[in-house]
Amino acid sequence: MSDDDPINKALGIGPLPTNKYIASIVNELNDDSALKDFTFARSNIQEVIQNGTDAIAKLATIADQSQNPRAFEVLAKLMDTVVNASEKLLDVQKKVKEMTKVNEPTGDKTVTNNLFVGSTSDLQTILEKLKK
């Protein structure tokens, strides 16, 4: 349909989406950006934990040698931060497991009524991507 379609003008709507548009939506649904974000967040949190652990060892030495109450206060705060980062790492892991459960079909896996709007080549392309 073109933009000059009188029915579209009368109803105040634009042209219908094309098969390429529908295929792009299907590709977005199959996108693994959540997994990429999980991997990125996990590596950042692990780096914070590692750097914090190294800093705790150094700061413990400084606090022990100086016997300054402020040094011990900073050490305790840093230890708390590392513990919180460890808990965040576990939370991220739990959230990813929950997300993957949502994407998995539950219950009866038989599909009786299924409609695909697109060409045969679009369907074959999607099926090939799902096989990989």
- Confidence at 73, pLDDT banded by 50, 70, 90: very high
Rounded Cα distance, 48 and 85, in Å = 7
Centre a 10 Å sphere on the Cβ of residue 45 and count the other Cβ atoms it contains.
Answer: 19
Classify each residue of 64-90 as buried b or exposed e, where b means 16 or more C-beta atoms within 10 Å of its C-beta.
eeeeeeebbeebeebbeebeebbebbe
Instruction: Give Cα separations from 2 to 8, 12, 22, 25 (angstroms).
Output: 9, 14, 18, 22
14 versus 122: the higher-pLDDT residue is 122
Asked whether residue 99 carries a pLDDT value surpassing 50, the answer given is yes
Give me Rg for the CA atoms of the chain: 27
Q: Are residues 37 and 97 in the same domain?
A: yes
Report the domain count for the chain.
Answer: 2
Asked whether residue 87 carries a pLDDT value surpassing 80, the answer given is yes
- Confidence at 83, pLDDT banded by 50, 70, 90: very high
Q: Does 47 reside within a domain?
A: yes
Q: Are residues 47 and 15 in the same domain?
A: no
Asked whether residue 45 carries a pLDDT value surpassing 80, the answer given is yes
